[in-house]
Structure 1
Amino acid sequence: MANITWKEAPATWTALLDDVPVCTLKCKDIGGCAASWLDGRLWAPPSHMPKAAPQPTRFFTGVEEAKTAVEATLNS
């Protein structure tokens, strides 16, 4: 189990893995949240676009969904 903590700033959260920043979540005014890896990781393409290239940023409908996805990725 990875030691993941979250540092919060206005509309931004940073995932820290053993106190090293690995992912930033930025919430949008219109809703939703973009999760961007800081350590070279890539998000898998969405299931509805299986031929798409992996990307460093992925959009989520909310911050809790994004945090859950980040933690699941870091714990796998």
Structure 2
Amino acid sequence: MAAVTWDHTPPTTWIAMVDGQACCSVKRKDIGGWTATWTDDRLWPVPVHLPKAVPQPTKFFSSLEEAKQAVEQALAA
């Protein structure tokens, strides 16, 4: 897959772009932390400790760096 580039919409949103297409948005939450939401049909895998959970398009992260790294790893797979 092509390299991920990040487009920043101040003050709270980062958009992951692949080949000029937006594929995930990372937004800062008022309560702290960040959420990464896929813009296509992709879903985040369930946590290991919740095996009966349903995969979701949105996942919470404690830091921007953690969220961006998770998005880049998911797109590289």
Q: What range describes the TM-score normalised by the shorter chain of this pair?
A: over 0.9
Superposition map of 1:1-76 within 5 A: 1-9=1-9, 10-76=11-77
- Per-residue CA deviation, residues 50-74 of structure 1 (Å, 9 max, x unaligned), is 1101000000001100000000000
Taking structure 1 as the reference length, what is the TM-score of the superposition? 0.94
Calculate percent identity across the aligned residue pairs: 54
CA RMSD for the aligned pairs? 0.9
Deviation (angstroms), 1:30? 2.3
Deviations 1:18-37 (A, max 9, x none): 11000000111221100000
Aligned residues: 76
Unaligned runs of 5+ in 2: none
Structure 1 unaligned blocks of 5 or more: none
